[in-house]
C-alpha cells in the first residue's frame, strides 16, 4: 500500500512540474530533444530517490538539483557531442513573443561553457540565490560568482553587436 501512495505522489508531482523541468533542461542544453532526454534521466533518478525527495521541504529544488547534475555529468562524458552529428538551430521557443531577441539570447547562451550556462540559468531563470546555486552545482559560492560573472560577460559580448544595431535604428 505504501508503494502505491508513493507512486501516486510521484506521478502527481511529475504531471504538475514536467513543463517547468523541460524548460529548465532546454535552457541548459538548447535542444528540445536533448532536454527531453535530460528530464527523463533526471526523473528516473528522482523516482529511485522519491522516498527522500518526497520528504524534503522543497521538492522542486531537489528535482532541479538532480536535473542540473545530470546535465553537467553528461557534459563531462562528451556523449552529447558524439550523438549529435549536425548542429541545427534551436526550434523557436513557444514561451517568448519576441522571436528575434529570443534567438539571439539562445544562441549566446548556447555558446557559454556548461557550468557558466548552468550558473546563469539557475541564478536568473530559476531565481536561486548564490548559496542555493552553489548547493545545486556542488561548488563554493565564489565559484558561482565567478561562473555567473564570466557567463554574463560572455552574454553581453555576444549580444552587444545586436544591441548596438537595434539602438542605432531606433
In the prediction, which pLDDT does 102 show? 57
Position 141 pLDDT exceeds 60: yes
Domain containing 72 equals: 1-88
27-67 residue pLDDT tens: 999 889 999 999 999 999 999 999 888 788 899 999 999 99
Among the candidates 67, 88, 109, a domain finishes at 88
CB of 27 within 8 A of CB of 125?
A: yes
Q: Is residue 93 part of a domain?
A: no
User: 23 and 44: one domain?
Assistant: yes
Among the candidates 88, 115, 139, a domain finishes at 88
Counting residues of the chain whose pLDDT is more than 90, the rounded percentage is 55
CATH of residue 119's domain is 1.10.10.10
Where does the pLDDT of residue 1 fall: very low under 50, low under 70, confident under 90, or very high at 90 and above? very low
Burial class (CB in 10 A: 0-12, 13-18, 19+), 117: buried
Q: What is the largest CA-CA distance in the chain?
A: 66
User: 47 and 123: one domain?
Assistant: no
Q: How many CB atoms lie within 10 A of CB 128?
A: 20
Amino acid at each position: 500500500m505504501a508503494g502505491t501512495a508513493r507512486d501516486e505522489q510521484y506521478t502527481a508531482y511529475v504531471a504538475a512540474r514536467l513543463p517547468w523541468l523541460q524548460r529548465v533542461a532546454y535552457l541548459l542544453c538548447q535542444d528540445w530533444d536533448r532536454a527531453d532526454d535530460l528530464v527523463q534521466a533526471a526523473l528516473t533518478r528522482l523516482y529511485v530517490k522519491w522516498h527522500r525527495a518526497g520528504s524534503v521541504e522543497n521538492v522542486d529544488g531537489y528535482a532541479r538539483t538532480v536535473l542540473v547534475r545530470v546535465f553537467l555529468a553528461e557534459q563531462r562524458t562528451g556523449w552529447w557531442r558524439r550523438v549529435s552529428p549536425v548542429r541545427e538551430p534551436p526550434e523557436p521557443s513557444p514561451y517568448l513573443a519576441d522571436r528575434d531577441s529570443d534567438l539571439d539570447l539562445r544562441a549566446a547562451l548556447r555558446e557559454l561553457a556548461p557550468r557558466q550556462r548552468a550558473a546563469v540559468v539557475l541564478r536568473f531563470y530559476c531565481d536561486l540565490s548564490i548559496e542555493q546555486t552553489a548547493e545545486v552545482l556542488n561548488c563554493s559560492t565564489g565559484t558561482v560568482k565567478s561562473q555567473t560573472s564570466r557567463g554574463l560577460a560572455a552574454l553581453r559580448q555576444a549580444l552587444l553587436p545586436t544591441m548596438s544595431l537595434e539602438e542605432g535604428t531606433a
